[in-house]
Amino acid sequence: MKPLFVALALALAGTSAVAAEVENHGPHPFSIRDLVMMDRVGDPQLSPDGRYALYTVRVTDYAANKGVTSIYLLDLDKGGDPVRLVDKASGPRWAPDGSAFYYVAPKDGVAQLWRRPLGTSGKVVDPQAAQAVPVTNAPIDVDGYKLSPDGKKALLTFGVFTDCADLACTKERLDGRAADKASGTVYDKLFVRHWDTWSDGRRAQLFIADLDHAAEQPVLLTRGIDGDVPSKPFGDDGEFSFSPDGKTVYFDVRIAGKAEPWSTNFDVYSVPADGSAAPRNLTAANLAWDAFPVASPDGKTLYYLAMKTPVSEADRFGIMALDLATGQKREVAPNWDRSAGSLQVSDDGKTLYATADDNGQHPLFAIDVATGKVSTVVTDGTVGGYALGKSHLLVQRDDLKRSADLYVADLRGKGLKQVTHYNANRLKNAQMGDPEFFTFKGWNNETVQGYVVKPVGYKSGKKYPVAFIIHGGPQGAMENGWSYRWNPQTYAGQGFAVVTINFHGSTGYGQAFTDSISGDWGGKPLEDLKAGWKAALAKYSFLDGDRACALGASYGGYMIYWIAGVWNEPWKCLVDHDGVFDARAMYYDTEELWFEERENGGTPFEHPENYEKFNPVNHVKDWRVPMLVIHSAQDFRIPDTQGLGAFTALQRRGIPSQLLHFPDENHWVLKPQNSVQWHETVNAWLKQWTSADASATKLN
């Protein structure tokens, strides 16, 4: 049953009503309405001459209950207002000569690759110069692409049946299935379902097309590859690339077979760009994860990221250099104890750029190819994306008080300047809480970091109720970054102080710190959470330890169920989103088995004791604290039977409890109106149990 305030929220007239409600307010505490209507800047792309920026902006269509993405152009030299070029499109990429850009957008209901010329007057782009034209005319969706260095060809990704001879065959088979009145599907191997999608037998495969004849059947480059290029569910064009001369294509893939759900053995392959030979495995010797290949400007070296531990998704990604002539490999910065991501190479080939978690931040780093020396280029916040030019950088950056905007700087990060100001008008009256990081001694007397956020309207000498947020992953972190799901400012705006701890297992503090959680989910992290809570109460007198609720999602949800039985004393209430309730059942319900086997030292039929050691279901008899359980039907990572089981336990024990169930969401709550409902329900639960006159909150 929906609470009345949720029904009221969903009765709003639409986008304009919600937007007006947000923007026309005077000074007010930051709220979920502010958050859900914010413009989301992403995918920055720098023109070849460095003068112009292409990027995307996602706006919320509240009435349609979805986001709509458009492509914008900004003159970095002259400044001024950005120009919106294309609506309902994604993936903008510059033609190598800067005369046009490409993107993906629907045509007659099918996603195609488009080209939009940008006429010039001297060196000034005229965004209204010409109309876009579709480059492809495929019968099925173009899922992704990458242009060749000369701009004459494009790599294209499609979801196809690998036994089909052409794209039309896949289309015909899909149409036939849709017309078939029998709805059953027979499976003979896993994955049966993955993340939020049931398998239909298709694989993501890599093709190449001549852009002058892209409407013709493209050439399949990954023939014989039993795997997805790019990987599912979140792979992108960072997983495939061209050599500088355009004659070779590099990609990474996990060969699937029947072992796909318990393997992380991705490898990097090369294949002739004309498809004249079969793909060749370049990293077969490493049984762990190799991925994200990018060639040096001279074409002699292939850089890629590699883990060293098989069956792990949280091992450190080191930067590898492969000499393509000799086959020799070396690690570029072996002593840099951070896990690299989003790798790019400078125009002169001397410097690599990568982002990485680092002590509560997510900066951009520069790595000297010859010496391995690492320098911080852009710090203090989260670099969510960047584009590398010949003389400067275009950076997407955010932090705990600012949503993403674009910045420019030189290649060393000097002269960092903000060039877009999205959400400035919307948030000029939205009041936020001030964050502050702190450290303390956690497990084994080791230093652990956390942060607090003061409530909006904070006054010295006053005490405030607390939202104690436990992050997921578990190999993740609560960082100095903006979030559209677990944003501490939404709690600060409701009058809560926020405390969060980056316990053992978190990323950005060295690989040993990250690895320490495996096999010890309820051990070291719990000690850190206890010590962090104690340290926060001692350091920040405004925290009211008698009016505190703990919240967590995914692994954080597991921890909520765990502390419900073994550390329930401090809490007036608990909120669990998509958590693991029964560790043994979780193994048989989930899809990515490598994660479960890595974290628990094997399978439950080989090592049942490992799954029972920290299993929340075994401590239900000690549950006492009121709990809100949230789960979604499309969550295949942690299926909703886990949440249903926990709610059953709470109800049978007679503990005050609620279940919020979404039939149309996955592990995350993404739809705008569902996000509003999620936050309103959580906020009401927190206020109910932390109010001054709250009734007895524990079962005796």
Q: Which residues are catalytic?
A: 554, 635, 667
**Dihedral pair phi/psi, residue 421, rounded to 5°:** -140, 55
Distance between CA 474 and CA 556 in Å, rounded? 7
Q: Which long-range contacts (CB under 8 A, 24 or more apart) does 593-596 make?
A: 593/190, 593/261, 593/262, 594/261, 594/262, 594/263, 594/264, 594/311, 594/312, 594/313, 595/313
- Are 59 and 72 in contact by the 8 Å Cβ rule? The answer is no
How many alpha carbons fall within 13 Å on the CB side of residue 289?
23
Q: Please report, for residues 212, 218, 250, 463, 696, the alpha-carbon distance to residue 398 in angstroms, rounded to integers and kept in the order given.
A: 40, 39, 32, 29, 41
Residue type, 493: G
Element housing 384 (H / E)? strand 382-388
- Are 174 and 164 in contact by the 8 Å Cβ rule? The answer is no
Report the chain's terminal Cα–Cα distance, integer Å.
28
Q: Which two tokens stand for residue 286?
A: 């490493």
Distance between CA 613 and CA 154 in Å, rounded? 52
- Output the 3-class SS for 325-380: CCCCEEECCCCCCCCCEEEEECCCCCEEEEECCECCEECEEEEECCCCCEEEEECC
The residue length of the chain stands at 700
Beta-bridge mates of residue 378: 364
Angle between helices 524-539 and 555-566 (to 10 degrees): 80
Distance between CA 586 and CA 596 in Å, rounded? 8
Distance between CA 240 and CA 294 in Å, rounded? 8
| Alpha helix stretches (DSSP H) within 132-242 | 167-179
Q: Which long-range contacts (CB under 8 A, 24 or more apart) does 317-321 make?
A: 317/289, 317/341, 319/343, 319/352, 319/354, 319/367, 320/290, 321/369
Q: Please report, for residues 321, 448, 526, 527, 660, the alpha-carbon distance to residue 523 in angstroms, rounded to integers and kept in the order given.
A: 38, 15, 5, 6, 29
Distance between CA 159 and CA 162 in Å, rounded? 9
Q: Please report, for residues 62, 574, 614, the alpha-carbon distance to residue 584 in angstroms, rounded to integers and kept in the order given.
A: 40, 23, 10
Residue 118 DSSP code: -
